[in-house]
Amino acid sequence: MSAAVLEARDITRDYHVAKGIFGRTRTVHAVRGISFSLAKGRTLAVVGESGSGKSTLARILTLIDAPTSGTLSIGGEVMDIARSGVTRDMRRKVQMVFQNPYGSLNPRQKVGDVLCEPLLLNTDRSAAERRALAQEMLVKVGLLPEHYNRYPHMFSGGQRQRIAIARALMLSPQILVLDEPVSALDLSVQAQILNLLADLQDEFDLTYVFVSHDLSVVRYIADEVMVMYLGQAVEHTSRDAIFSDPQHDYTRKLFAATPRADVESIRQRVAERAARAVGSAA
């Protein structure tokens, strides 16, 4: 296996919340002791219910928030943003794709400006070079070079998410953190975006951290799965192992509470509802 490109060691993140105007401050442990390593070119899916700490962990991994304690390393280099801030070099290592393709793009910016902004802020490339790279990236995500001069409102949700992915790739990062990147899209569009992400991962040898609550999506895209509960990682193993034989009680409950989408499962649920209806009528 390749050397780890992303390593987290005992990562914690605490928030101090005041109870009312005169109340005492209490500490919320959003992330508690998360440790993992991820090899180059692989995908780690992070799953769990709302409030489990998934998005907080994503913000730490993308250097938006500093951990309260613990160590985060990318490519063997410790990312201590609490001490040094986020440097240009750090920003080029990891980027994020957000859930909402409608809210993550500035409606006042043309697509070309959206894509060129990371290059403008983090590199010394000329305007002509930035434009050429942006148009090339549009093609790689399945759009056209002439889309460079259009505004986000002129695109569908799936096309906007392609633009968001293109923006995340402009700095040639090693790692993409994707926070529910297809949950706001129609099912047919979800499949297109997932296929695009798989193709881009192969082309650029990208490492993904894929945050999701949708287990069918996780089963399709992940190499490894980490299950979070109340800020902790309660299970972390290969995709095949966790879907065939989940070990932790919370993982089993989480999987059992997720409706299966295969035809036989749908037929079974319809038959059960029909039987209940007959029983009620009787």
Which pLDDT tens digit goes with each residue over 194-223? Answer: 999 999 999 999 999 999 988 989 999 999
Integer Cα distance of 282 and 273 in angstroms: 14
Mean pLDDT of 94-112: 89
pLDDT in tens, 77-100: 999 999 989 999 999 999 999 888
Pair of tokens at residue 246: 């989940």
Answer whether residue 258 shows pLDDT above 70: no
Model pLDDT, residue 25: 82
pLDDT in tens, 42-82: 999 999 988 899 999 999 999 999 999 999 999 999 999 99
Give the pLDDT band of residue 266 (cuts 50, 70, 90): very low
Model pLDDT, residue 100: 83
Would you tell me the crossing angle of helices 157-169 and 111-122 to the nearest 10 degrees? 20
For strands 77-78 and 94-97, give the pairing: unpaired
Neighbours of 259 (CB within 10 A): 9
The whole-chain average pLDDT of the chain stands at 90
Q: Are 226 and 62 in contact (CB under 8 A)?
A: no
Mean pLDDT of 153-175: 95
- Characterize 119-147 residue by residue with b for buried, 16 or more Cβ atoms within 10 angstroms of its Cβ, and e for exposed: beebbeeeeeebbebbbebbebbbbeeeb
Statement: the pTM of the whole predicted model exceeds 0.75 = yes
Give the pLDDT band of residue 104 (cuts 50, 70, 90): confident
Integer Cα distance of 17 and 25 in angstroms: 5
Helix/strand/coil for 48: coil
Give the pLDDT band of residue 19 (cuts 50, 70, 90): confident
Give the pLDDT band of residue 274 (cuts 50, 70, 90): low
Answer whether residue 269 shows pLDDT above 50: no
Model pLDDT, residue 213: 87
CATH of region 4-275: 3.40.50.300
Mean pLDDT of 127-138: 98
